[in-house]
Structure 1
Amino acid sequence: MGRKRGTQSQAIGRSRGGITTKVLALTDAVGNMIDFRLLPGQAHDLREVPALIERLMGGSLLADRAFDADWLRQDLADKNITAVNPPKSNRRFPSTFDKHIYKWRQLVENFFGKLKENRGIAMRSCKTDQSFKVFISIAAVIVQTK
């Protein structure tokens, strides 16, 4: 048996918008990328979160509704990190969050906007994950130095 070939090993998957790749990024307080992971389009965002937050230290983690999971909140609480994300609409007992701090999440959205100004990243023009990761890393450095 040889290695797997094709899109299964290249973080390319099918979602509503077609064949896509998700970029899951961890940024610092001012919106500069610290680390990132690639996911196939159909994968849930929480799948790669444990790898991103294993060495995380800080006061708060700002995220959107997709990251509202009990195990993630507990893991962050064990590390003395405050989870600042709105609860999912289907939660029976919704958790509270600081709406004033949550407004700073726009820095992460701005980072992704700047990253996607590069057409090669927005269109996923690289064939392999390795080259796409390098392309994202170079673009992130360029965004940070501007």
Structure 2
Amino acid sequence: MSTARTQSERLAFRRAMLRARFAELREGVWTRPANLDQDLDEIITGSCRFVVGRFRDDTPPVADLWDLSSWSAEAWRLIAVMADADTLVAGFVANAEVFRHLQLDPLLPPELLPTDWPGEQLRARFAAFNADYAARLREFSQE
């Protein structure tokens, strides 16, 4: 396994790891709970060694790895944005913002999340909002 990567290869690797919801524990060491069944990008599987480990006190340093309070605050803000998006333009912007934010959700197991975690509520509201927005868009295009 070669460690000499170009800058573009390192950037592509970092993006792939973040898309797969990994967090960088320290330079070159990525981690996440084993709660996701996912197909990893070839760039990850071809560049990594996977180990199963446990933190000494069985409590991963979640707050050091993911900024859960910022993610949560933005999720609550987006829930309000969707409620106020009464035009097609506002709906389009809200749709894009929520979609992007959901891609940043670390998808941690419930026992590692704060009790007031808005992830499920944001996903449920977004599903309803997106369906309503799609119907409004279809209606507009038929006028």
Q: TM-score, normalised by structure 2?
A: 0.30
**Which of structures 1 and 2 has the bigger CA Rg?**
2
Q: Return the structure number with greater helix share.
A: 2
| TM-score between both structures, scaled by the size of structure 1 | 0.30
Question: Greater share of strand residues, 1 or 2?
Answer: 1
Q: Greater relative contact order: 1 or 2 (C-alpha under 8 angstroms, separation 6 or more)?
A: 2
